[in-house]
Amino acid sequence: MADEPVVVIVGAGFAGLNLAKSLAGMPVRVQLIDRHNYHTFQPLLYQVATGVLEANSIANNVRSIFRDQKNFSFTLGELSRVDHGKRCLQVVTTNGALVEVAYDFLVLATGVETDFLGIADAGEAFTLKGLDDAIRLRNQILRQFELVDAGALDPQSGALTFAIVGGGATGVELAGAMSDLFGYTFARQFPGGLVRNTRVVLIEALPRLLTAFHPESGAYARRLLEKRGVDVRLGESVEHVDENGLKLRGGETIEAHTVVWVAGVRAAQLTDTVPAGHTKGGRVVVGPDLSLRRHPDIFVIGDAAAVWDQRGRLCPQLAPVAVQQGRHVARQLDRRLQGLEAEAFNYADRGTMSTIGRNTAIAEFPLGMRFHGYPAWSMWLGLHLIELIGFRNRSNVLLDWGWNYLTHHQGAGLMQCEGLRGPAA
């Protein structure tokens, strides 16, 4: 056991988690490192932000997931440096101590972070990348409604305007979920017509929504969102963000106390130091087997990696790609240990989906199969339930969705203490 090679994986996201699981039973020691002690199911973050689900329904404790895997260990900490010459990492633990971790094989699966695209003060906006972001946004939404209801904020000042920057899947899903929250749940919880003052604005710089989908799906999403009262702005880009709202390049100002930035991502800064080429979004260019050409003992997988499929297309930054890459690297490590040649990664595209609010979604599958509306929404529900990790999470989510569907009531609407502040000095 002691002389078995050590595979260090940084990142307990979709890629890292699936790799670590696939290494069970292999003659290696697996050490997983993450800055959180849990895995987050990011596709459902918008439901935590809009009070449909509790945070713990979409997160799993890493040690609990791997409790039965004998060759597994976990370290809670933040990777700060890779010394590929000495084959070791420096990891900062939660008390600020620096520990060194040696590896035989290193797999970086650190994902991406929000890219504010150089827009002044956009960093002040709300984001939706992790569980903390989702809880922060949920608190903000609830706080704004409570303050207006209490007469402490003027609804005409942008207090109930929610501007979402970025018309990709996350922006569309969030806009749809916000309009459901305000139109169904808050309409009954805040009497007196408060919701009539709400405004959801979705801003996209390109001329259509959901550019990763077929143009018809983007047009469908736009029609539906507009029907639900969302103000969709296409071909408009943001020049400036501050606490009062944002300014568009065309000169228009939108007063909004809540600006949510979901317009771009870039690979985590740390991957900039990886000795390999990088794409514009900071993704590390890897070889066909997902290892670095000059350092074959280092692999990069998931959103942080750039690899082209056999038809010359850059693999998208999606959960199924990350899952398949994690499993692929496990197979390659197995082959290396047996002295076999490396195999190239090939992404098996099984389709993409996005919700647009209650009862409606878009689902696209290979060979041009497209579904819109209720059938796509049912497929989306089923798939996400299957993909969630752990029986407890699946049953919690199923219960919350059922309750929400039947009663139109989003149950996870607790505002955490940070939402309550004392009077200004």
Ligand X SMILES: Cc1cc2nc3c(=O)[nH]c(=O)nc-3n(C[C@H](O)[C@H](O)[C@H](O)COP(=O)(O)OP(=O)(O)OC[C@H]3O[C@@H](n4cnc5c(N)ncnc54)[C@H](O)[C@@H]3O)c2cc1C
Among 24, 26, 88, 319, binds ligand X (CB under 6 A): 319
Name 354's Cβ contacts closer than 8 Å, sequence gap at least 6. 169, 172, 173, 210, 213, 217, 221, 361, 362, 380
3-state class (DSSP) for residue 382: helix
Tell whether residue 36 is a contact of ligand X (CB under 6 A).
Answer: yes
Tell whether residue 135 is a contact of ligand X (CB under 6 A).
Answer: no
Binding part of the chain for ligand X, among 36-44, 141-149, 190-198, 230-238 by CB under 6 A, reads: 36-44
Task: Report which of 41, 259, 242, 261 is spatially closest to residue 167, judged by C-alpha positions.
Answer: 261
Binding part of the chain for ligand X, among 277-285, 301-309, 388-396, 407-415 by CB under 6 A, reads: 301-309
Tell whether residue 11 is a contact of ligand X (CB under 6 A).
Answer: yes
Binding part of the chain for ligand X, among 205-213, 302-310, 361-369, 389-397 by CB under 6 A, reads: 302-310
* CA pair distance 225, 201, nearest whole angstrom: 10
Among 33, 202, 307, 376, binds ligand X (CB under 6 A): 33
CB nearer to ligand X: pick between 80 and 346: 80
Of the residues 54, 173, 204, 364, only one is catalytic, namely 173
Dihedral pair phi/psi, residue 61, rounded to 5°:
-65, 130
Longest dimension (CA), the chain: 72
Helix-, strand-, coil-residue percentages of the chain, each rounded to 5: 35, 25, 40
CB nearer to ligand X: pick between 154 and 272: 272
Contact indicator for 362, 356 with CB cutoff of 8 Å: yes
Among 8, 28, 45, 256, binds ligand X (CB under 6 A): 45
Contact indicator for 129, 144 with CB cutoff of 8 Å: no
Contact indicator for 109, 16 with CB cutoff of 8 Å: yes
Tell whether residue 267 is a contact of ligand X (CB under 6 A).
Answer: no
Scan residues 105-134 and list those touching ligand X (CB under 6 A).
Answer: 109-111, 128-129
- Shortest spacing between CB 14 and ligand X, in angstroms: 4
* CA pair distance 237, 89, nearest whole angstrom: 40
Scan residues 170-199 and list those touching ligand X (CB under 6 A).
Answer: 170
For 199-215, b where at least 16 C-beta lie within 10 A, e where not — what string?
Answer: bbbbbbbeebbbeebee
* CA pair distance 136, 162, nearest whole angstrom: 14
CB nearer to ligand X: pick between 187 and 319: 319
Task: Report which of 232, 163, 155 is spatially closest to residue 196, judged by C-alpha positions.
Answer: 155
Residue 173 appears among annotated catalytic residues: yes
Tell whether residue 164 is a contact of ligand X (CB under 6 A).
Answer: no
Scan residues 49-78 and list those touching ligand X (CB under 6 A).
Answer: 78
Two tokens, residue 145 = 């409604």
Binding part of the chain for ligand X, among 40-48, 115-123, 213-221, 286-294 by CB under 6 A, reads: 40-48
- Shortest spacing between CB 295 and ligand X, in angstroms: 18
Which positions are catalytic? 173
Please report, as ranges, the residues that interact with ligand X according to CB under 6 A: 10-16, 33-36, 42-43, 45, 78-79, 109-111, 128-129, 169-170, 268, 270, 302-304, 317-320, 322
